[in-house]
Structure formats: C-alpha cells, structure tokens
Amino acid sequence: MQVALLRPVRMPVTTDTAAANVQPAMHANCIVCGQCNGRGLRLEFEAAPDGSVHAEFDCDAMFEGYAGKLHGGIISAILDGAMTNCLFEHGHPGVTAELTVRFRHPVQTAQKATVRAWIERCSPPLHVLRAELSQDDELKATAIGKFMDHSRAG
C-alpha cells in the first residue's frame, strides 16, 4: 500500500545572501551535508519554490544495518540533516532539540532515495520542521524535529 507524500506549508525561500553561506561556514564537516567530510554522505540540498529543500542520494551498502536495508540511524541522520538545511535556506541556523522518527518501510540499499524537509512553524528561538524520505514513490520514513536557534544553544 502506498502512502501519500506529505505536503509542506508554503513558506518562501529567503533571498538573504548571507543565509546561503551559513551551511558551508557552519557545516563543512557534517556527516550528512558537509562537502569536506570524506566519509560523509555529502548530500547537496536544493531549495524548492514552496520553501522546502530536497536531496537525492544513493543508499550505499556501506550504510546498511540488516542485509540490503539502510541503517535506521543513517535514516534518522538524513532526515535531521534535511531539516537543518531547510533552516539554513531560511537563514535560521539551528541545532536539534528533539527528533521523532517514524519508520514506515525498510529503505533498500543500492537504490536511490529522496529526502525532503520543510518548516511547519517558527516561533524563534524554536522552529518545528517535518521531513520525509521516499524511495520508488513510496514514503519510507517521516520525522518531526524541534530546533533551537544556534546562537542560543550555547
């Protein structure tokens, strides 16, 4: 049974050029999106007109848990990274305060998957985001995360 993909709340992407520099400056070695981390996933997130971000990635077998299945910790990290990058796009560098992941179906290795994240609501210094991971047009995992502004996280 296929599950309908969730839809983001429409929020325009920031045009603040400083926001575009937040990710490389603060996350260069991030395991999910850091381009300087030779062992990381190096996901490249793209902004969509509705304010969400998305990235496509290969589910390399080096990240499997059970045979042929992507490890749940990797799935959680990817969902968390997508939400963080969505905040970057909107000029709000944040740190994860709470993360709830729902694993709906196994994510197969050796197949491409897509992650997408969007802001549900902001009430600075707290931001609530949602993310989803899909593969072969099937929703595999979803997450809701609460993020605190990086400057207030200490």
| CATH number of the structural domain spanning residue 135 | 3.10.129.10
Q: Determine, yes or no, domain membership for 32.
A: yes
Which of 28, 57, 37, 36 is closest to 45 using CA atoms?
Answer: 57
Q: How many domains does the chain have?
A: 1
Do the domain assignments include residue 7? Answer: no
**What residues make up the domain containing 70?**
17-152
2 vs 105: which has the higher pLDDT: 105
Provide the 3-class DSSP secondary structure of residue 3.
Answer: coil
Q: Is residue 5 part of a domain?
A: no
- Report whether pLDDT(8) > 90: no
Is 137 among the domain residues?
Answer: yes
Residue 3 lies in a domain: no
- 11 within domain boundaries: no
- Does a structural domain hold residue 9? no
Express each pLDDT in 85-104 by its tens digit. 999 999 888 999 999 999 99
**pLDDT digit string, tens, across residues 106-144:** 999 999 999 999 999 999 899 999 999 999 999 999 999
pTM of the model: 0.84
Q: What is the pLDDT of residue 136?
A: 96
Q: With contact defined as beta carbons under 8 Å apart, do 40 and 30 qualify?
A: yes
pLDDT at residue number 68:
97
